[in-house]
A and B are shown apart, each in its own frame.
Chain A
Amino acid sequence: MKHMLKYILKRLLIMIITLWVIITLTFILMINIPGSPFNSDQSSNETVQANLEAHYNLDQPYYIQYLLYIKSIVTFDFGPSIKQPNQTVNDLLSRGFPISFELGIITIVLAVISGILVGIIAALRHNGFLDYLTMGIAVLGISIPNFILATLLIQQLAVNLEIFPTATWRSPAHMVLPVLALATGPMAIIARLTRSTMLEVLTQDYIKMAKAKGLSPWKVIFKHALRNALMPVVTIMGTLFAGILTGTFVIEQIFAIPGMGRYFVESINQRDYPVIMGTTVFYSAFLIIMLFIVDVVYGILDPRIKMHQKGGK
């Protein structure tokens, strides 16, 4: 228990440093953007500009700006948008993030459940037809970028066959195509990983033991084998979250879903720097915290990790 606590504290410390790195990085990049943020196409006179700069503390020395910046982020204030008047990054986040979150959660649940099931089936039919078929599809799933899959799905299922609506986010039918486009890659990764670890686990002595005890194959697989085969899947969850999150940028763009990813890409195209920086910090913090949770969960699940010396000698 003491080791556990020490392990969690250590991950927590690393998480905080990582957060600090990303905040500092965005700050350094922000002050290096050529020109003042208010020096855009609208012609404004110098007094107005000076007032604006004073209002956003741009006339202060860098270290004060830096401290103010950290303070604003810690208090969850990501600043205004300079291209959309009277909008703050927080407004955009509160409008767009719930939708993106919904899309992301459905995608993850679908990818994890179906990926694991496919992986188990492939492992049980090792070197059989089903194994080759599913793993062939899985390699394809990893290879086709989600934005290409999305356009293919729109063309085939929405335009040609007219089964699903093409765009927006209103009913479950609207969700099918974007979720499918987004989930295929992670699903394929999980399926491959589950298959290879299942194959390894199935040759272990304790599985033989469980079979020898006369347990049903069902119980052997789901109670004994799967439990251990899932550990590597937990370790890649952090990477998968990141992949799905960045995936929402293009998927929301293609399917015209009014989520955060779409605002983010729009802000990139309009070079709306405060929105870009604010969203990046928000997303990074979200992912870094997710990674921390995954690490802790992994630590709790796997008794073999000696937490007091992980990554050490």
Chain B
Amino acid sequence: MKSKEEIEYTQTAANVPDEWFSWKERDKEKLEQVSRPSLSYWQDAWRRLVKNKMAMLGLIFLVLLTIMAIIGPILSPYEVNRQSLPDQYQPPSMEHWFGTDNAGRDVFTRTWYGARISLFVGFIAALIDVTIGIIWGGISGYKGGRTDNIMMRIIEVLYGLPYLLVVILLLVVLGPSLGTIILALTITGWVGMARIVRGQVLQIKNYEFILASKSFGTKTFRIIRKNLLPNAMGPIIVQMTLTIPSAIFAEAFLSFIGLGIQAPFASWGVMANDSLGAILSGNWWTLFFPAFFISFTMFAFNVLGDGLQDALDPKLRK
């Protein structure tokens, strides 16, 4: 049961006297204010990547590895290929932090030198794959029709070629060197990237903003470069982080079967291959360090790729 005052109050509330109101200037600044800081796609992706502990572990490891690959060989007092038979198979000590190998070479120096080779091969191969893949996939997906059909048939044929066998074949004939290894790795390596770019382009090219851009009379090349590619960048980056470890693995694998980088270069695969016999005799460190760094580098790229996949997926954006 309501009291009398309450009833009176509700009645007057319906016809409020004018003097109760006061005029308030509209604040234009405040109107535009956004309560939460706005995040671009990349800022948001970065924020989510930082939250992923494994991905950050991978990223930090890779940054440190890159730094050590650059300065490691300079820090060490030993030459990469300085052989010294009296120092053969020294266990890790203050003098040789990672020990020495079958020819008395310093494993610490060689490990960072190997990091240079592995990272270089991985990055350059991935970069070439991305470049060719973007051009091929971009044109194929954007042009469509007959062009797309022909370009995709070529890809389907190349996709069927067994990657490592073609690489082996080329290296047998061309002779193994840094340049030929990268050439062999990229000659069919770009196909996967081209497929991904094409799929992305096919999807994005039907969006309204592309139509808007076209109606302004923007040139095709500019549309691909400015509108299509930035929007397709997520999956491209993810694919790239997965291409690098496969190139690093391929290089190590090739070194292992005797088709890798030749002296005076030292790669992790060569080091692992050299120390196969040593492990049975108990000189574990000669195999341990290259093996650890190959595995951990692949691990770092894999978890970083996983993290990026989640971070760059717009569907998972909160």
On A, residues with C-beta under 8 Å from B are 14-15, 17-18, 21-22, 25-26, 29-30, 32-33, 139-140, 142-145, 147-148, 151-152, 154-155, 159, 242, 245-246, 249-250, 253-254, 265, 268-269, 271, 273, 276-277, 280, 283-284, 287-288, 291, 311-313
Contacts and interface: CB of A to CB of B under 8 A. Distances in A.
Given A15-B160, A269-B258, A143 B172 contact: no
A264 to B, nearest CB: 9
Q: What band does the interface of chain B fall in when counting residues whose beta carbon is under 8 Å from A? A: 35 or more
A34 to B, nearest CB: 9
A25 B170 CA distance: 9
B276 interface: yes
Contacts of B162: 242, 245-246, 283-284, 287-288
A142 B291 contact: no
B265 interface: no
A254 B152 CA distance: 40
B85 interface: no
Interface of B: 144, 149, 152-153, 156-158, 160-166, 168-170, 172-173, 245, 249, 252-253, 256-259, 272, 276, 279-280, 284, 287, 291, 294-296, 298-299, 302-303, 306
Nearest to A166: B280
B163 A18 contact: no
Contact of A18 (B161, B279, B291): B161
A250 B279 contact: no
Contact of A21 (B161, B165, B284): B161
A232 to B, nearest CB: 15
Contacts of A276: 168-169, 172
Nearest to B280: A159
B16 to A, nearest CB: 53
A254 B276 contact: yes
Given A14-B153, A151-B287, A139 B302 contact: yes
B310 to A, nearest CB: 11
A47 to B, nearest CB: 29
B279 A151 contact: yes
A299 to B, nearest CB: 14
A311 B149 CA distance: 8
A269 B152 CA distance: 37
Most chain A CB atoms below 10 A, which of B162, B253, B287: B162
